[in-house]
Amino acid sequence: MIDSHCHLNFVDFDETRDVIINKSKKEFRYIVDCGASIEGNNRSLELKNKYDEFIKSTFGYHPVYAGKDDKETTDKTIEQIINNLDNIQAIGEIGLDFSENRSEDELNRQHKTFHRLLDVATEYDMPIVLHVREAEQHALEIVKEYPGIPDVIFHCFSGTKTTALEAVDCGYYLSFATNALFSKKHKKNIKAVPLENMLTETDSPYLSPVKGEPNQPSNIRLTIERIERTKNIEFKEIEKQTEKNAINVYNL
C-alpha cells in the first residue's frame, strides 16, 4: 500500500512518529509526506532524509497561508520549493481554499501565488498536488490552462461528480481519504471515477475515522474497503492499481 498524502511531519506526531513509521514498513511500500509551509517543507525533508527509500516528500504552499502571507514570505517559500526540486516528488499542496469568509485581498493573493506555482511546475516539469476546497471546478479550469504540467492530483477530492468526471477526462488523478467513509457525496464520486484515476490517502493527522485520535497511515485500509464495497472490486485489485498510480504519478 501507499499513503499518497499525509503529514507525519506535523508536531502532532513528535511522540509517536518513529513507532508509526516502523510499524507501517510492514504494510506499506511508500508513504508520501506533504509539506504546506516553509517550516513544514523543512520538516518533511528531514523525515525523508531519515527514512530514505520509504518516506517521500512533496513541498508545497497551502493556499490559506498563501492568502495571508506578505510578499517576502511568498517569495521565500517559492524559492525554497525551486531549490529543492531534486528532493521532492511533486509540488504541493498548493491550490485554492474558498471555505470560510475570505477577504478579497486574501483571495487575490491565493490566486496570484497559485499561478506562480503552476508556472514553476510547468517550467520544471513537476507533478502537482492540489488542495482545493469549495473551489474545485474553478481550480480545474485554471489548471487546464497549464497543459505542460505532467500530472495533477486532486488531494482529498470533495467536489461534484461533474467536476470529478471532467478531471478524469483531462487525465488527472483524484485522491480519496478517510473522510470518504461516511459521505454520500464521496460515495458517488468513488463510483464514478475509474480505478485508473484514483489514489488513496489518509491526510493524517486530519480526517481521523476515530474520534479524539489523530489519523494515521494504517487507516488507509478503511478507505480501500469503502472503495471495495462501493465499486464491487476486490481489495487486492484496488490496492494494486492505486499503488501503481501513485508510483507512476510521483515517479517513485
Q: Which residues bind Zn ion (CB under 5 A)?
A: 203
Measured from the CB atom, the residue of 14 and 104 that comes closer to Zn ion is: 14
157: closest CA among 214, 209, 200? 200
Measured from the CB atom, the residue of 203 and 243 that comes closer to Zn ion is: 203
- Write down the least CB distance from residue 232 to Zn ion, Å: 29
Residue 188's Cβ-count burial label (10 Å; 0-12, 13-18, 19+) is middle
* DSSP for 174-200, written as a single string: EEE-GGGTT-HHHHHHHHHS-GGGEEE
- Write down the least CB distance from residue 103 to Zn ion, Å: 24
Cell numbers of 172, please?
Answer: 488527472
- Write down the least CB distance from residue 33 to Zn ion, Å: 10
Q: Cα(106)–Cα(115) distance, rounded to whole angstroms?
A: 14
Measured from the CB atom, the residue of 21 and 207 that comes closer to Zn ion is: 207
63: closest CA among 129, 6, 121, 125? 129
Measured from the CB atom, the residue of 69 and 97 that comes closer to Zn ion is: 97
Measured from the CB atom, the residue of 6 and 21 that comes closer to Zn ion is: 6
Q: Are 195 and 241 in contact (CB under 8 A)?
A: yes
Q: Cα(190)–Cα(227) distance, rounded to whole angstroms?
A: 7
Ranked by CB distance to Zn ion, the top (closest) residue is 203
- Write down the least CB distance from residue 237 to Zn ion, Å: 26
Which position has the grid cell 464495497?
A: 229
- Write down the least CB distance from residue 169 to Zn ion, Å: 25
Measured from the CB atom, the residue of 69 and 203 that comes closer to Zn ion is: 203
- Write down the least CB distance from residue 104 to Zn ion, Å: 26
- Answer whether the bond into residue 205 is a cis peptide, omega within 30°: yes
